[in-house]
Structure 1
Amino acid sequence: MLIDCHCHLDLYREPAIVAGSLRSEECLVLSVTTTPSAWRGTSALGSGIPGVHTGLGLHPQLAGERASELGLMESLVPAAEFVGEVGLDGTPELRQSWPTQTRLFDAVLASATRAGGRVLSIHSRRAAGEVAARLQAFPDAGTPILHWFSGSLKELQLAVEIGCWFSVGPAMLRSKRGRGLIERMPRDRVLPETDGPFARDTSGQPLQPTGAREVQAGVAEMWGEPADVVTARMDEGAAVIRGRMHEVSAPLPPRYRS
Protein backbone atom coordinates (compact mmCIF):
# COMPACT_ATOMS: atom_id res chain seq x y z
CA MET A 1 0.00 0.00 0.00
CA LEU A 2 1.13 3.54 -0.74
CA ILE A 3 1.06 5.48 2.54
CA ASP A 4 1.65 9.22 2.82
CA CYS A 5 0.43 10.48 6.18
CA HIS A 6 1.21 14.16 5.58
CA CYS A 7 1.20 16.04 2.30
CA HIS A 8 -0.37 19.24 0.95
CA LEU A 9 -2.23 18.24 -2.21
CA ASP A 10 -3.66 21.72 -2.73
CA LEU A 11 -0.24 23.40 -2.76
CA TYR A 12 1.36 21.52 -5.66
CA ARG A 13 1.80 23.49 -8.87
CA GLU A 14 -0.68 21.14 -10.58
CA PRO A 15 -2.72 19.68 -7.72
CA ALA A 16 -5.35 17.97 -9.89
CA ILE A 17 -2.65 16.01 -11.72
CA VAL A 18 -0.99 14.92 -8.46
CA ALA A 19 -4.33 13.86 -7.00
CA GLY A 20 -5.30 12.08 -10.21
CA SER A 21 -2.10 10.02 -10.09
CA LEU A 22 -3.46 8.36 -6.94
CA ARG A 23 -6.65 7.02 -8.53
CA SER A 24 -5.07 3.72 -9.52
CA GLU A 25 -3.21 3.30 -6.21
CA GLU A 26 -4.21 1.30 -3.17
CA CYS A 27 -3.31 4.06 -0.75
CA LEU A 28 -3.79 5.97 2.45
CA VAL A 29 -2.94 9.61 1.75
CA LEU A 30 -3.64 12.22 4.42
CA SER A 31 -3.87 15.53 2.60
CA VAL A 32 -3.59 18.36 5.12
CA THR A 33 -4.67 21.97 4.79
CA THR A 34 -3.21 25.09 6.37
CA THR A 35 -6.41 27.15 6.74
CA PRO A 36 -10.06 26.19 7.34
CA SER A 37 -11.11 28.23 4.33
CA ALA A 38 -9.02 25.92 2.09
CA TRP A 39 -10.70 22.75 3.35
CA ARG A 40 -13.62 22.48 0.96
CA GLY A 41 -11.59 23.08 -2.19
CA THR A 42 -8.91 20.62 -1.10
CA SER A 43 -11.58 18.04 -0.23
CA ALA A 44 -12.77 18.27 -3.83
CA LEU A 45 -9.28 17.27 -5.04
CA GLY A 46 -9.60 13.93 -3.27
CA SER A 47 -13.24 13.37 -4.12
CA GLY A 48 -13.80 9.93 -5.61
CA ILE A 49 -10.34 8.65 -4.63
CA PRO A 50 -11.04 6.14 -1.83
CA GLY A 51 -7.62 6.32 -0.20
CA VAL A 52 -7.34 10.12 -0.04
CA HIS A 53 -8.57 11.88 3.09
CA THR A 54 -8.56 15.65 3.59
CA GLY A 55 -7.66 17.23 6.93
CA LEU A 56 -9.09 20.41 8.36
CA GLY A 57 -6.14 22.58 9.30
CA LEU A 58 -5.05 25.81 10.92
CA HIS A 59 -1.27 25.95 10.64
CA PRO A 60 0.57 27.51 13.59
CA GLN A 61 2.79 29.54 11.26
CA LEU A 62 -0.36 31.30 10.04
CA ALA A 63 -1.88 31.83 13.48
CA GLY A 64 -1.15 35.54 13.57
CA GLU A 65 -2.88 36.28 10.27
CA ARG A 66 -5.61 33.62 10.32
CA ALA A 67 -6.84 33.72 13.92
CA SER A 68 -10.16 35.09 12.64
CA GLU A 69 -10.81 31.68 11.03
CA LEU A 70 -11.00 29.89 14.39
CA GLY A 71 -14.81 30.10 14.45
CA LEU A 72 -14.97 28.50 11.01
CA MET A 73 -12.52 25.83 12.15
CA GLU A 74 -14.61 24.98 15.19
CA SER A 75 -17.79 24.79 13.13
CA LEU A 76 -16.20 22.38 10.61
CA VAL A 77 -14.50 19.90 12.97
CA PRO A 78 -17.65 17.74 13.34
CA ALA A 79 -17.80 17.39 9.54
CA ALA A 80 -14.08 16.61 9.03
CA GLU A 81 -12.60 13.12 8.70
CA PHE A 82 -9.41 14.21 10.39
CA VAL A 83 -7.72 17.38 11.62
CA GLY A 84 -4.42 18.68 10.28
CA GLU A 85 -2.16 20.53 9.96
CA VAL A 86 -2.43 22.02 13.44
CA GLY A 87 -0.04 22.46 16.34
CA LEU A 88 2.60 24.85 17.61
CA ASP A 89 5.81 26.35 16.22
CA GLY A 90 8.40 27.70 18.64
CA THR A 91 10.89 29.14 16.16
CA PRO A 92 12.17 32.61 17.14
CA GLU A 93 10.58 34.40 14.19
CA LEU A 94 7.14 33.26 15.38
CA ARG A 95 7.61 34.23 19.02
CA GLN A 96 5.20 37.14 18.69
CA SER A 97 2.35 34.85 17.66
CA TRP A 98 2.96 32.27 20.41
CA PRO A 99 0.04 33.35 22.66
CA THR A 100 -2.28 33.18 19.65
CA GLN A 101 -0.87 29.81 18.61
CA THR A 102 -1.50 28.27 22.00
CA ARG A 103 -5.01 29.70 22.20
CA LEU A 104 -5.91 28.33 18.77
CA PHE A 105 -4.36 24.91 19.39
CA ASP A 106 -6.23 24.54 22.68
CA ALA A 107 -9.46 25.51 20.95
CA VAL A 108 -8.87 22.97 18.17
CA LEU A 109 -8.16 20.19 20.67
CA ALA A 110 -11.29 21.13 22.61
CA SER A 111 -13.34 21.01 19.40
CA ALA A 112 -11.92 17.60 18.48
CA THR A 113 -12.79 16.36 21.97
CA ARG A 114 -16.39 17.57 21.66
CA ALA A 115 -16.64 15.86 18.27
CA GLY A 116 -15.67 12.51 19.81
CA GLY A 117 -11.98 12.59 18.87
CA ARG A 118 -10.17 12.90 15.56
CA VAL A 119 -6.95 11.70 13.97
CA LEU A 120 -4.69 14.77 14.26
CA SER A 121 -1.66 15.58 12.10
CA ILE A 122 0.43 17.85 14.33
CA HIS A 123 3.27 20.30 13.71
CA SER A 124 5.63 20.57 16.71
CA ARG A 125 8.81 22.27 15.52
CA ARG A 126 10.73 23.60 18.55
CA ALA A 127 7.55 23.08 20.56
CA ALA A 128 7.35 19.33 21.16
CA GLY A 129 7.16 19.67 24.95
CA GLU A 130 4.36 22.23 24.76
CA VAL A 131 2.48 20.12 22.23
CA ALA A 132 2.75 17.09 24.51
CA ALA A 133 1.54 19.11 27.50
CA ARG A 134 -1.55 20.21 25.60
CA LEU A 135 -2.26 16.70 24.39
CA GLN A 136 -2.11 15.60 28.02
CA ALA A 137 -4.60 18.34 28.89
CA PHE A 138 -6.98 17.07 26.17
CA PRO A 139 -6.60 13.28 26.39
CA ASP A 140 -9.79 12.59 24.44
CA ALA A 141 -8.94 14.81 21.46
CA GLY A 142 -8.12 11.73 19.38
CA THR A 143 -5.10 10.03 17.83
CA PRO A 144 -2.11 12.38 17.49
CA ILE A 145 0.38 11.85 14.67
CA LEU A 146 3.45 14.04 15.14
CA HIS A 147 4.58 15.11 11.69
CA TRP A 148 8.35 15.46 11.07
CA PHE A 149 9.15 15.23 14.79
CA SER A 150 12.37 17.06 15.68
CA GLY A 151 12.27 17.36 19.46
CA SER A 152 14.70 16.06 22.06
CA LEU A 153 14.97 12.43 23.18
CA LYS A 154 13.22 13.37 26.43
CA GLU A 155 10.37 14.95 24.48
CA LEU A 156 10.21 11.91 22.23
CA GLN A 157 9.85 9.63 25.25
CA LEU A 158 7.02 11.76 26.61
CA ALA A 159 5.28 11.70 23.24
CA VAL A 160 5.59 7.91 23.15
CA GLU A 161 4.19 7.61 26.68
CA ILE A 162 1.07 9.60 25.83
CA GLY A 163 0.35 7.46 22.76
CA CYS A 164 1.57 9.59 19.85
CA TRP A 165 2.24 8.19 16.41
CA PHE A 166 4.96 9.57 14.13
CA SER A 167 4.97 10.33 10.40
CA VAL A 168 8.49 10.43 9.00
CA GLY A 169 9.73 11.43 5.57
CA PRO A 170 12.73 11.06 3.29
CA ALA A 171 14.19 14.30 4.66
CA MET A 172 14.37 12.77 8.15
CA LEU A 173 16.13 9.72 6.76
CA ARG A 174 18.79 11.96 5.20
CA SER A 175 19.52 13.65 8.54
CA LYS A 176 21.69 12.15 11.27
CA ARG A 177 19.42 13.68 13.90
CA GLY A 178 16.30 12.48 12.13
CA ARG A 179 17.63 8.93 11.87
CA GLY A 180 18.54 8.96 15.54
CA LEU A 181 14.97 9.86 16.45
CA ILE A 182 13.43 7.27 14.12
CA GLU A 183 15.63 4.58 15.67
CA ARG A 184 14.00 5.30 19.04
CA MET A 185 10.37 5.51 17.90
CA PRO A 186 8.01 2.58 18.53
CA ARG A 187 8.20 0.52 15.36
CA ASP A 188 4.46 -0.09 15.28
CA ARG A 189 3.70 3.65 15.42
CA VAL A 190 5.89 4.93 12.57
CA LEU A 191 4.25 5.78 9.23
CA PRO A 192 5.61 7.37 6.03
CA GLU A 193 5.01 10.94 4.94
CA THR A 194 6.41 13.29 2.30
CA ASP A 195 5.33 16.80 3.38
CA GLY A 196 5.23 17.53 -0.34
CA PRO A 197 5.49 19.91 -2.03
CA PHE A 198 7.51 21.63 0.74
CA ALA A 199 9.94 18.73 1.20
CA ARG A 200 12.07 17.90 -1.82
CA ASP A 201 13.93 14.92 -3.19
CA THR A 202 17.70 14.78 -3.66
CA SER A 203 17.40 16.46 -7.07
CA GLY A 204 15.53 19.41 -5.58
CA GLN A 205 12.11 18.49 -6.94
CA PRO A 206 9.01 18.59 -4.71
CA LEU A 207 8.28 15.16 -3.26
CA GLN A 208 5.19 13.49 -4.69
CA PRO A 209 3.04 11.20 -2.49
CA THR A 210 4.59 8.24 -4.31
CA GLY A 211 7.93 9.35 -2.84
CA ALA A 212 6.77 8.05 0.52
CA ARG A 213 7.66 4.53 -0.67
CA GLU A 214 11.34 5.21 -0.12
CA VAL A 215 10.64 5.69 3.60
CA GLN A 216 9.73 2.03 4.01
CA ALA A 217 12.98 0.88 2.41
CA GLY A 218 15.06 3.42 4.33
CA VAL A 219 13.53 2.59 7.68
CA ALA A 220 13.92 -1.15 7.05
CA GLU A 221 17.62 -0.70 6.33
CA MET A 222 18.10 1.43 9.45
CA TRP A 223 16.23 -1.00 11.69
CA GLY A 224 17.99 -4.01 10.16
CA GLU A 225 14.71 -5.66 9.19
CA PRO A 226 13.50 -7.12 5.88
CA ALA A 227 11.68 -4.54 3.78
CA ASP A 228 8.58 -6.72 3.51
CA VAL A 229 8.34 -6.95 7.31
CA VAL A 230 8.47 -3.17 7.70
CA THR A 231 6.03 -2.67 4.84
CA ALA A 232 3.57 -5.11 6.40
CA ARG A 233 3.87 -3.39 9.78
CA MET A 234 3.26 0.02 8.22
CA ASP A 235 0.26 -1.37 6.32
CA GLU A 236 -1.13 -2.56 9.66
CA GLY A 237 -0.51 0.86 11.18
CA ALA A 238 -2.25 2.54 8.25
CA ALA A 239 -5.22 0.24 8.78
CA VAL A 240 -5.39 1.34 12.42
CA ILE A 241 -5.35 5.01 11.42
CA ARG A 242 -7.95 4.42 8.71
CA GLY A 243 -10.10 2.66 11.29
CA ARG A 244 -9.95 5.73 13.52
CA MET A 245 -11.08 8.03 10.73
CA HIS A 246 -14.63 9.17 11.05
CA GLU A 247 -17.42 8.30 8.68
CA VAL A 248 -18.71 11.82 9.01
CA SER A 249 -22.45 12.40 8.94
CA ALA A 250 -22.51 15.83 10.59
CA PRO A 251 -23.98 18.50 8.29
CA LEU A 252 -21.81 21.29 6.97
CA PRO A 253 -22.52 24.74 8.36
CA PRO A 254 -24.61 26.94 6.00
CA ARG A 255 -21.57 28.79 4.63
CA TYR A 256 -20.16 25.52 3.30
CA ARG A 257 -23.28 24.01 1.78
CA SER A 258 -23.66 23.84 -1.99
Structure 2
Amino acid sequence: MIDFHAHLDLYPDPQATARECVARNLYVLSVTTTPSAWTGTAALSKDAPRIRTALGLHPQIAHERKGELPLFERLLPQVRYVGEVGLDGGPEFRRHWPDQEQVFSQVLDLCGRAGGRIMTIHSRRAATPVLDALTAWPAAGIAILHWFSGTQKELARAIDLGCWFSIGPAMLAGDKGRALAAKMPRDRVLTESDGPFAQVDGRAAWPWDADRAVEALAQIWSEPVDEVRRQLLNNFRRLIQKIPARS
Protein backbone atom coordinates (compact mmCIF):
# COMPACT_ATOMS: atom_id res chain seq x y z
CA MET A 1 0.00 0.00 0.00
CA ILE A 2 1.09 3.53 -0.74
CA ASP A 3 0.10 6.72 1.07
CA PHE A 4 1.94 9.48 -0.73
CA HIS A 5 0.54 12.34 1.37
CA ALA A 6 -0.13 12.02 5.09
CA HIS A 7 0.50 14.28 8.07
CA LEU A 8 1.88 11.71 10.51
CA ASP A 9 2.95 14.33 13.02
CA LEU A 10 -0.60 15.67 13.36
CA TYR A 11 -2.27 12.45 14.55
CA PRO A 12 -3.11 12.27 18.28
CA ASP A 13 -0.41 9.60 18.73
CA PRO A 14 2.10 9.98 15.88
CA GLN A 15 4.43 7.26 17.18
CA ALA A 16 1.64 4.69 17.37
CA THR A 17 0.44 5.67 13.88
CA ALA A 18 3.94 5.27 12.48
CA ARG A 19 4.28 1.86 14.14
CA GLU A 20 1.00 0.75 12.60
CA CYS A 21 2.20 1.89 9.17
CA VAL A 22 5.31 -0.27 9.65
CA ALA A 23 3.21 -3.24 10.78
CA ARG A 24 1.06 -2.91 7.67
CA ASN A 25 4.12 -2.62 5.40
CA LEU A 26 2.81 0.70 4.14
CA TYR A 27 4.92 3.17 2.20
CA VAL A 28 4.20 6.68 3.55
CA LEU A 29 5.32 10.11 2.46
CA SER A 30 4.98 12.03 5.72
CA VAL A 31 4.52 15.68 4.81
CA THR A 32 5.16 18.65 7.08
CA THR A 33 3.53 22.06 7.26
CA THR A 34 6.52 24.02 8.58
CA PRO A 35 10.30 23.61 8.30
CA SER A 36 10.57 23.67 12.11
CA ALA A 37 8.41 20.51 12.25
CA TRP A 38 10.68 18.53 9.95
CA THR A 39 13.27 17.25 12.42
CA GLY A 40 10.72 15.97 14.92
CA THR A 41 8.58 14.45 12.19
CA ALA A 42 11.56 12.76 10.55
CA ALA A 43 12.26 11.07 13.90
CA LEU A 44 9.03 9.11 13.38
CA SER A 45 10.72 7.27 10.52
CA LYS A 46 13.52 5.86 12.68
CA ASP A 47 13.67 2.12 11.99
CA ALA A 48 10.91 2.63 9.38
CA PRO A 49 12.57 2.47 5.94
CA ARG A 50 9.25 2.79 4.14
CA ILE A 51 8.42 6.13 5.75
CA ARG A 52 9.97 9.24 4.21
CA THR A 53 9.59 12.79 5.49
CA ALA A 54 9.00 15.76 3.19
CA LEU A 55 10.08 19.31 3.99
CA GLY A 56 7.12 21.68 3.76
CA LEU A 57 5.75 25.13 4.32
CA HIS A 58 1.97 25.02 3.93
CA PRO A 59 0.32 27.89 2.02
CA GLN A 60 -2.42 28.31 4.60
CA ILE A 61 0.17 29.39 7.17
CA ALA A 62 2.70 30.97 4.83
CA HIS A 63 1.97 34.40 6.28
CA GLU A 64 2.78 33.15 9.78
CA ARG A 65 5.81 31.03 8.91
CA LYS A 66 7.51 32.81 6.02
CA GLY A 67 10.30 33.65 8.46
CA GLU A 68 11.21 29.93 8.35
CA LEU A 69 12.36 30.11 4.72
CA PRO A 70 16.03 30.34 5.78
CA LEU A 71 15.51 27.14 7.80
CA PHE A 72 13.87 25.55 4.76
CA GLU A 73 16.97 26.43 2.74
CA ARG A 74 19.30 24.95 5.35
CA LEU A 75 17.33 21.69 5.59
CA LEU A 76 16.76 21.23 1.87
CA PRO A 77 20.08 19.44 1.19
CA GLN A 78 18.97 16.73 3.63
CA VAL A 79 15.76 15.82 1.80
CA ARG A 80 14.62 14.48 -1.53
CA TYR A 81 10.93 15.22 -0.99
CA VAL A 82 9.32 18.63 -0.50
CA GLY A 83 5.80 19.20 0.74
CA GLU A 84 3.30 20.28 1.62
CA VAL A 85 3.84 23.45 -0.38
CA GLY A 86 1.76 25.38 -2.91
CA LEU A 87 -1.01 27.97 -3.02
CA ASP A 88 -4.52 28.17 -1.55
CA GLY A 89 -7.10 30.42 -3.20
CA GLY A 90 -9.80 29.89 -0.60
CA PRO A 91 -11.54 33.13 0.41
CA GLU A 92 -10.31 32.83 3.99
CA PHE A 93 -6.70 32.90 2.78
CA ARG A 94 -6.88 35.40 -0.07
CA ARG A 95 -5.74 38.29 2.10
CA HIS A 96 -2.45 36.47 2.56
CA TRP A 97 -1.99 35.79 -1.16
CA PRO A 98 1.20 37.91 -1.52
CA ASP A 99 2.84 35.92 1.28
CA GLN A 100 1.75 32.65 -0.31
CA GLU A 101 3.21 33.65 -3.66
CA GLN A 102 6.45 34.81 -2.07
CA VAL A 103 6.91 31.57 -0.16
CA PHE A 104 5.97 29.26 -3.03
CA SER A 105 8.18 31.07 -5.54
CA GLN A 106 11.13 30.93 -3.16
CA VAL A 107 10.54 27.25 -2.47
CA LEU A 108 10.50 26.47 -6.19
CA ASP A 109 13.61 28.57 -6.77
CA LEU A 110 15.48 26.86 -3.94
CA CYS A 111 14.45 23.42 -5.20
CA GLY A 112 15.62 24.28 -8.70
CA ARG A 113 18.99 25.52 -7.46
CA ALA A 114 19.34 22.34 -5.37
CA GLY A 115 18.94 20.15 -8.44
CA GLY A 116 15.21 19.49 -8.22
CA ARG A 117 13.03 17.67 -5.74
CA ILE A 118 9.88 15.55 -5.79
CA MET A 119 7.21 17.95 -4.55
CA THR A 120 3.72 17.27 -3.21
CA ILE A 121 1.73 20.40 -3.97
CA HIS A 122 -1.45 21.97 -2.62
CA SER A 123 -3.51 23.79 -5.28
CA ARG A 124 -6.97 24.27 -3.74
CA ARG A 125 -8.80 26.96 -5.75
CA ALA A 126 -5.41 27.93 -7.15
CA ALA A 127 -4.62 25.44 -9.90
CA THR A 128 -3.84 28.04 -12.56
CA PRO A 129 -1.40 30.11 -10.45
CA VAL A 130 0.27 26.90 -9.24
CA LEU A 131 0.72 25.77 -12.84
CA ASP A 132 1.97 29.23 -13.78
CA ALA A 133 4.60 28.97 -11.05
CA LEU A 134 5.65 25.48 -12.14
CA THR A 135 6.01 26.79 -15.69
CA ALA A 136 8.18 29.65 -14.44
CA TRP A 137 10.46 27.29 -12.44
CA PRO A 138 10.76 24.16 -14.60
CA ALA A 139 13.94 23.05 -12.83
CA ALA A 140 12.18 22.79 -9.45
CA GLY A 141 11.54 19.08 -9.92
CA ILE A 142 8.63 16.68 -10.26
CA ALA A 143 5.28 18.11 -9.20
CA ILE A 144 2.69 15.82 -7.65
CA LEU A 145 -0.62 17.64 -7.35
CA HIS A 146 -2.26 16.30 -4.23
CA TRP A 147 -6.09 16.12 -4.15
CA PHE A 148 -6.32 18.07 -7.41
CA SER A 149 -9.66 19.91 -7.64
CA GLY A 150 -9.23 22.23 -10.62
CA THR A 151 -11.16 22.31 -13.85
CA GLN A 152 -10.87 19.87 -16.72
CA LYS A 153 -8.97 22.56 -18.66
CA GLU A 154 -6.53 23.03 -15.78
CA LEU A 155 -6.13 19.26 -15.56
CA ALA A 156 -5.23 19.09 -19.25
CA ARG A 157 -2.61 21.78 -18.73
CA ALA A 158 -1.18 19.97 -15.69
CA ILE A 159 -0.92 16.78 -17.71
CA ASP A 160 0.88 18.64 -20.50
CA LEU A 161 3.33 20.02 -17.92
CA GLY A 162 4.16 16.50 -16.81
CA CYS A 163 2.52 16.70 -13.39
CA TRP A 164 1.68 13.63 -11.36
CA PHE A 165 -1.38 13.26 -9.12
CA SER A 166 -2.06 11.74 -5.70
CA ILE A 167 -5.62 10.63 -5.11
CA GLY A 168 -7.38 9.66 -1.90
CA PRO A 169 -10.72 8.16 -0.95
CA ALA A 170 -12.10 11.55 0.11
CA MET A 171 -11.43 12.97 -3.36
CA LEU A 172 -13.06 9.97 -5.00
CA ALA A 173 -16.19 10.23 -2.85
CA GLY A 174 -17.55 12.97 -5.13
CA ASP A 175 -18.52 13.05 -8.80
CA LYS A 176 -16.08 15.84 -9.66
CA GLY A 177 -13.12 14.01 -8.15
CA ARG A 178 -14.02 10.81 -9.94
CA ALA A 179 -14.39 12.64 -13.26
CA LEU A 180 -10.97 14.22 -12.83
CA ALA A 181 -9.40 10.90 -11.87
CA ALA A 182 -10.83 9.31 -14.99
CA LYS A 183 -8.87 11.78 -17.14
CA MET A 184 -5.55 11.54 -15.31
CA PRO A 185 -2.77 9.50 -16.95
CA ARG A 186 -2.83 6.15 -15.21
CA ASP A 187 0.96 6.00 -15.20
CA ARG A 188 1.19 9.23 -13.18
CA VAL A 189 -1.24 8.45 -10.35
CA LEU A 190 -0.48 7.51 -6.74
CA THR A 191 -2.73 6.99 -3.73
CA GLU A 192 -2.87 9.17 -0.62
CA SER A 193 -4.90 9.58 2.56
CA ASP A 194 -4.29 13.25 3.47
CA GLY A 195 -4.96 12.11 7.00
CA PRO A 196 -5.83 13.29 9.53
CA PHE A 197 -7.35 16.23 7.59
CA ALA A 198 -9.37 14.16 5.12
CA GLN A 199 -12.46 12.37 6.35
CA VAL A 200 -13.45 8.75 5.76
CA ASP A 201 -16.74 7.43 7.14
CA GLY A 202 -17.09 10.59 9.23
CA ARG A 203 -13.70 10.24 10.93
CA ALA A 204 -10.14 11.28 10.25
CA ALA A 205 -8.51 9.14 7.60
CA TRP A 206 -5.66 6.85 8.60
CA PRO A 207 -2.73 6.30 6.24
CA TRP A 208 -3.93 2.78 5.47
CA ASP A 209 -7.25 4.23 4.30
CA ALA A 210 -5.37 5.26 1.15
CA ASP A 211 -5.99 1.69 0.01
CA ARG A 212 -9.69 2.50 -0.35
CA ALA A 213 -8.75 4.66 -3.33
CA VAL A 214 -7.51 1.55 -5.10
CA GLU A 215 -10.97 0.02 -5.11
CA ALA A 216 -12.51 3.28 -6.32
CA LEU A 217 -9.93 3.59 -9.10
CA ALA A 218 -10.67 0.01 -10.15
CA GLN A 219 -14.28 1.06 -10.73
CA ILE A 220 -13.36 4.29 -12.49
CA TRP A 221 -10.77 2.64 -14.74
CA SER A 222 -12.85 -0.53 -15.28
CA GLU A 223 -9.87 -2.63 -14.26
CA PRO A 224 -9.44 -5.46 -11.73
CA VAL A 225 -8.22 -4.32 -8.33
CA ASP A 226 -5.06 -6.40 -8.66
CA GLU A 227 -4.24 -4.70 -11.97
CA VAL A 228 -4.74 -1.27 -10.40
CA ARG A 229 -2.44 -2.21 -7.52
CA ARG A 230 0.18 -3.34 -10.04
CA GLN A 231 -0.11 -0.10 -11.99
CA LEU A 232 0.23 2.04 -8.85
CA LEU A 233 3.24 0.07 -7.64
CA ASN A 234 4.91 0.42 -11.03
CA ASN A 235 4.20 4.15 -10.95
CA PHE A 236 5.74 4.44 -7.51
CA ARG A 237 8.85 2.52 -8.48
CA ARG A 238 9.30 4.64 -11.58
CA LEU A 239 8.88 7.84 -9.58
CA ILE A 240 11.43 7.04 -6.89
CA GLN A 241 13.96 6.25 -9.60
CA LYS A 242 13.63 9.91 -10.58
CA ILE A 243 14.59 11.17 -7.13
CA PRO A 244 17.64 13.37 -7.48
CA ALA A 245 20.65 12.77 -5.28
CA ARG A 246 20.71 15.06 -2.28
CA SER A 247 22.92 18.07 -2.87
TM-score bucket of the superposed structures, by smaller chain: over 0.9
Tell me the residue number matched to 1:83.
Answer: 82
How many residue pairs align between the two structures? 247
Q: Kindly indicate whether residue 231 of structure 2 is the aligned counterpart of residue 233 of structure 1.
A: yes
> With structure 2 as the length reference, what TM-score do the two structures score?
0.97
Q: What is the letter of the counterpart of residue 46 of structure 1?
A: S
> Kindly, what percent of the aligned residue pairs are identical?
50
- SS of residue in 2 equivalent to 1:23: helix
Aligned to 1:253: none
Residue of structure 1 in register with 2:211 after alignment: 213
RMSD, aligned α-carbons: 1.1
CA distance in 2, matches of 1:220, 1:227: 5
* Cα distance in 2, alignment partners of residues 38 and 244 from structure 1: 26
Structure 2: distance between partners of 1:152 and 1:108 = 25
Greater shift, 75-84 or 4-13, is seen at: 75-84
| CA displacement at 1:25 relative to structure 2 | 3.7
Residue number in structure 2 paired with 1:120: 119
Q: 1:239 to 1:229 in 2, by over 3 A?
A: same
Aligned equivalents of 1:188, 1:27: Cα separation in 2: 20
Residue type at the aligned position of 1:81: R
- In structure 2, runs of 5+ residues without a counterpart are none
Counterpart of 1:212, as a letter, is: A
CA contact (8 A) 1:122 1:145 kept: yes
Q: Is 2:192 the counterpart of 1:193?
A: yes
Alignment of 1:1-258 (within 5 A): 2-202=1-201, 204-246=202-244, 248=246
- Residue type matched to 1:239 in 2? R
Deviation (angstroms), 1:247 = 5.1
Q: Equivalent residue of 1:22, what SS?
A: helix
Q: What do residues 29-84 of structure 1 show as CA deviations (whole Å, max 9, x unaligned)?
A: 11100000000000000122111110000000001111111111122111112000
CA distances 1:71-121 after superposition (whole Å, capped 9, x unpaired): 111221111120000000011111111011111101000111111110000
Distance change (3 Å), C-alpha of 1:52 and 1:246: farther
User: Quick one: distance in 2 between partners of 1:122 and 1:49?
Assistant: 24
